[in-house]
Amino acid sequence: MIHEDSKALLEIRGLRATVNGIEILKGIDLTVRSGEVHAIMGTNGSGKSTLAKVLAGHNAYQVTGGSITFEGNNLFDLEPEERARAGLFLAFQYPIEIPGVSNSHFLRLAYNTVQAQHGKDELDPLEFEDFVREKMKLLDMNPDFLDRGVNEGFSGGEKKRNEILQMALLEPRLAILDETDSGLDIDALRIVTNGVNKLATKDNAIILVTHYQRMLNYIVPDFVHVMQAGRIIKTGGKELALDLETRGYDWVGAEYHAAAEA
Amino acid sequence: MSMVTSNSYLESLLQGQPQLPPSPLAWFNQLRASAVDRAGMLKLPTTRDEDWRFTDISPLAKLSFQPARAVSTLQAPDVERFYLDEAAIRLVFVDGAYMPQFSTQPNKARDLGLTVTDLSSTAVSSHGAVIEPHLGRHAGFQDNLFAALNTAFLHDGALVIVPRNAVVDAPVHVLFIATQPEVASHPRCLLIAESGSAVTIVEDYVTLQEGAYVTNAVTEFVLEGNAQVNHVRIQRDSTQAFHIGHCAVSLAHASRYRSVSVALGARISRYDLNARLAAEGAECAIDGLALISGRQLADTHTCIDHAQPDGISRQLHKCIVDGAAHAVFNGKIMVRPGAQRTDSTQSSRNLLLNAKARVDTKPQLEIFADDVKCAHGATVGQLDIEELFYLKSRGLSELAARNLLTYAFGAEIIDRIPVASLKQRLEQTVFEQTKRS
Ligand SMILES: Nc1ncnc2c1ncn2[C@@H]1O[C@H](COP(=O)(O)OP(=O)(O)O)[C@@H](O)[C@H]1O
Ligand SMILES: [Mg+2]
């Protein structure tokens, strides 16, 4: 929901980034205010996940230009874990499997770390068990997933639910959901998006990264951005997503290049 | 490496040996005497010996040893903290000497249908016929100085006999406690699992001091047909200590041996495990974990000898090496002529936590049968950066993330220990150890 007077959570200006010396992000500008839902769409390889990873602080990506402020602070001053504790959350496109670390142990560590940051009480294993089971109900998740290794042997859809479960536990100010819809069947998509909607408030914001319109039927965006070759080449309202669904991405690129030449 | 004339050095190692009281069993005294002779002929191995290529034990030769003195100051609470809740039977040895006051009474074992006793006890005489074919026959000392020394000092030791078809759920805990620096002790175990029996035995080396000492242990396990033995071996010696351990396992028809060995302590440790699948359809699972740091060296040599057809062996050995520590793994799989349909897998996985840490891992397959399935593999790696990033992206500090992943790597082995309280305790130890590093 757009509120005229809400403050900017995230301000990206002229962001450039490389991986292995190859420039992937070529000047990104984006402002996200609290209460808003932004969708970033674009074909495969346009740099959406790279942007998400740069925001989360993955050190394989070198920032070569521009700035990012998060709640007024220079994001580049913060390590990945400090970003997480400050309220930035990335739901991974490809969640990592960590055999040998039990999911419940991992979830509790993450939860307690962020709680401690906010000066709140940590939960012991028994208290946490009750707490996390409630959150799992929201996502229609089988509690058995607590006893497995982190994402170990989870199906694509189960991994995505586990990501949103983490979002529900950490209650971030800004959540970036990278292709959370892929791997979810239609029932699961409804459940997961419903869970996300319940977490949305006027004080937080969500960036949805996707290349299908499908998810946007459930989580309605305030802005839709189209990314191509490391740039945001068009921004519109939720109707832009429907346009993209029927007409594809080519016309957006053509329009952008025509404007650039003019 | 420093040269030590074997004679003067052996003199020091054999100090006190002549004072051992003779056994009423003639063959027992004979065995001991031949081990003394043999020890006199063997030399301390050097890095020029293929089997000791990576493990320089010359620091051992620089240490002067005394025979252990009798300890009178040890109080029950010193010892009790090592006890296992699940263990119904416990044998406690302090600096190599049997401590009946800390051990469970022999009648308790008898109630469970077991014979568990100290090798020096008079009870042993009545089992002479059962023991004689096995004691010192599986862990040969002809070419092995340490086994010869241990046998030369044969006196106290754990004897466990599980009678035919007896199934004992509660583990037998054999606890060796080091309390004095600069002594050499020679722990000894003999387990005979008669046909169809099942037992779990925990061989546990702990210390109450941080000095330098030598533990030179020999263990022999005999599994008769269809017997099942779980063997947990924990080495938590002082980080100044030297630990040399030998275990020889003989598996008869369709018997099953499962072992988990964990090496945490010692400045230099060497563990040799030889399992001989001596009859058809025998099965073994041999897993190990070495978790070392600082300047520690942990060397594990295993040999799984498929001597007969239809044997199965499974092996996972892991090393977590921090600081400037050095881990060695040599895993030999022997498939003898005629050992058809042998099914064997071996995996060596190693985690280096420091640029100065080192591991030498070597699978050694010697296959002389044609219809066999043998797979082996070795990996050496660091912590995975994508896993680290994932954890950090959820707020865990770099250190917490590293600890968690390191711990998880080791937990795969510790999880296989079939004694819950021991598993828990070790998980805690590993967690604390990885935290420190
Ligand atoms: N770690 C990496 N190493 C090399 N190339 C990468 C890496 N990450 C992304 N890229 C490249 O950057 C481009 C953008 O990828 P990505 O951000 O994943 O796109 P999207 O998420 O939009 O599909 C692609 O050409 C991809 O191959
Ligand atoms: Mg992507």
Residue A147 lies in a domain: no
Q: Is residue B132 within 8 Å of B27, Cβ to Cβ?
A: yes
CA of A14 to the centre of ligand 2 (A): 20
> Is B85 buried (19+), middle (13-18) or exposed (0-12) by CB count in 10 A?
exposed
Confidence at residue A5, expressed as pLDDT on a 0 to 100 scale: 77
Residue A128 lies in a domain: no
Confidence at residue B63, expressed as pLDDT on a 0 to 100 scale: 78
Locate the domains of chain B by residue range: 8-279, 384-437
Residue B3 pLDDT > 70: no
Instruction: Collect the ranges in chain A with pLDDT lower than 50.
Output: none
Asked if A116 has any chain B CB less than 8 Å from its own CB, the reply is no
Residue type, B343: D
Asked if A125 has any chain B CB less than 8 Å from its own CB, the reply is no
Whose CA is closest to atom 27 on ligand 1? Answer: A45
Residue A29 lies in a domain: yes
Q: What is the DSSP string of B218-278?
A: EEEEEE-TT-EEEEEEEE---TT-EEEEEEEEEE-TT-EEEEEEEE---SEEEEEEEEEE-
The domain that holds A61 is classified in CATH as 3.40.50.300
Confidence at residue B123, expressed as pLDDT on a 0 to 100 scale: 74
For residue B281, is it left (φ>0), alpha (ψ between -120 and 50) or beta? left
Q: What is the DSSP string of A128-152?
A: HHHHHHHHHHHTT--GGGGTSEETT
SS3 label, residue B285 = strand
Q: Is residue B162 within 8 Å of B114, Cβ to Cβ?
A: yes
| Residues of chain B contacting A, Cβ within 8 Å | 385-387, 389-398, 400-401, 404-405, 407-409, 411-412
**Beta bridge pairs of residue B260:** B232, B287
Residue A203: half-sphere exposure toward Cβ, Cα within 13 Å? 4
Give the range of the structural domain holding residue A221, as residue numbers without chain letter: 8-96+155-261
CA of A183 to the centre of ligand 1 (A): 20
d(CA A261, CA A178): 32
Distance of CA B86 to the CA centre of its chain: 21
* Tally of structural domains, chain A: 1
Place B4 in a pLDDT band, splitting at 50, 70 and 90. Answer: very low
> Is A92 buried (19+), middle (13-18) or exposed (0-12) by CB count in 10 A?
buried
Residue A134 lies in a domain: no
B82-122, pLDDT tens digit by residue?
A: 999 999 999 999 999 999 999 998 888 888 889 898 888 77
Put simply, the answer to whether A81 touches B404 (Cβ < 8 Å) is no
A4-19, pLDDT tens digit by residue?
A: 778 899 999 999 999 9
Q: Is residue A46 within 8 Å of A72, Cβ to Cβ?
A: no
A105-148, pLDDT tens digit by residue?
A: 999 999 999 999 888 989 999 999 999 999 999 999 999 999 99
Q: Which of residues 187-246 of A touch B (CB under 8 A)?
A: none
